[in-house]
Amino acid sequence: MKLAKALVMRLLFGVLSLVFISLVTFMADELAPGDAATAIIGEKATPGAVAALRQEMGLDRPWPIRYVEFVGRAVQGDFGKSYYGTKEPVSTILSQNLPMTIRVATMAILLAALIGISLGTWAAVRQNRGADRFVLTLSTLGVTIPNFVLAPILVYIFAVQLDRLPTTWAVDRVAPDIYYLILPVVILSLRPMALLTRLTRSSMIETLNQEFIRLAVAKGVPKMRLVLRHALRNAILPVITAIGTSLGFLLTGSFIVETAFALPGIGREGIEAIQKGDTPLIQATVLVAGALFIGINLLVDLLIPILDPRVREAAV
């Protein structure tokens, strides 16, 4: 069966991507000056002491062996210990921060999909009219204006001037969490929203020009039903694939938004790790974020044949 073969190939590609990301993550540290031994013992230690520690930690062995070990431990959730602070295991730090990132990203992608698909459909139905132009201009702005410009501007309007929303996340929150998350979620969702709007629009326009739609119009199907049941169901598949791709935007956005709003997520934690030079934490952040990115894209691609009978049948 071709479909099974395609799915296996896709799965294999996902695994390969993961291996590649882990290899690059490992090699990046390998090629950089300094290693774990110098980081732990400090710059001032004698070369002899560094060499002894290196041997004790097994850093003197060839890199392929250490890479396999690195992956083996990472698979079990062991990313080593942080160089700084209380030298907590990196996995503990990550598990404290990951929920916030996932929470904000999920809310953002849902918002983006909801509004993006609605706006795109509306624009397609009103093709070349005022509403369509308006939506297109808006989505161009959404793609072009960067998050880190939008974040301070919206904070200034809604938090400073109107005083409706808090400026940043706080440990002692006086209002329900959602008040603190509105601005970050909206800002994070804008780029994927703009992307999904454009894609829904072009996919809908293509679908609306097809024969079966004209037939449905001729049969007198009510317009609402025509657009939602007949056209959108067909047009939405590329949009679903794009939801996976737009996770890339979300990833970039998470770093910005979490920094701008002081949200305790892996984005902010990763930036702090870089500022301190906490290599194990940086590597783990990149690995976990990369694995999430690959995993969700894989999931989306596997979902398509389930949703679309045409893909299923064409492949048999």
Partner 1 sequence: MNSPGAKPKSRKEIAFWFGVGFLVLLVVFAILGPLIRHDPLVPVSKPFLMPSGLHWLGTDEQGRDVFARLAYGARISLVVGFTVQILSLLVGVTVGLLGVFAPRWIGMPLMRFADGMFAFPDILLAILIIGVWSMGLVPVIVALAITAWPAVARLVYTQALSLKDREYVVASQAMGAKTTYRVVRHVLPHLTGLLMAVAMVDLAGTILAESALSFLGIGVQAPQPSWGSMINIARLDMQSNPQLLVWPCVILCLTIFALNFVGDGLRARLDPKRAD
Of the candidate spans 81-89, 139-147, 176-184, 218-226, the one that interacts with partner 1 by CB under 8 A turns out to be 139-147
Q: Output 36 or 53, the one with its CB closest to partner 1.
A: 36
Q: Output 13 or 315, the one with its CB closest to partner 1.
A: 13
Applying CB under 8 A, does 63 fall inside the site for partner 1? Answer: no
Applying CB under 8 A, does 286 fall inside the site for partner 1? Answer: yes
- Least CB distance to partner 1 at residue 48 (A): 25
Count Cβ atoms below 10 Å from residue 256 Cβ, excluding itself.
21
Cα dihedral value 92, 95, 98, 103, nearest 10: -150
* Phi and psi, residue 49, nearest 5°: -65, -40
DSSP 83: S
Q: Output 42 or 130, the one with its CB closest to partner 1.
A: 130
Distant-in-sequence, close-in-space partners of 70: CB < 8 Å, separation ≥ 6 = 22, 26
- Using CB under 8 A, which of 8, 28, 49, 170 touches partner 1? 28
* Phi and psi, residue 288, nearest 5°: -65, -45
- 177-186: long-range contacts, CB 8 A cutoff, minimum separation 24: 180/261, 181/103, 181/104, 181/107, 183/151, 183/154, 183/155, 183/158, 183/159, 183/261, 184/104, 184/257, 184/258, 184/260, 184/261, 184/263, 185/104, 185/107, 185/108, 185/111, 186/108, 186/111, 186/154
- Least CB distance to partner 1 at residue 27 (A): 10
Q: Output 240 or 251, the one with its CB closest to partner 1.
A: 251
- Using CB under 8 A, which of 81, 231, 283, 298 touches partner 1? 283
Per-residue x/- marks for partner 1, 158-197, CB under 8 A?
Answer: --x-------------------------------------
Residues in touch with partner 1 (CB under 8 A): 16-17, 20-21, 24-25, 28-29, 31-33, 127-128, 132-133, 136, 144-149, 152-153, 155-156, 160, 202, 205, 248, 251-252, 255-256, 259-260, 270-271, 273-275, 277, 279, 282-283, 285-286, 289-290, 293
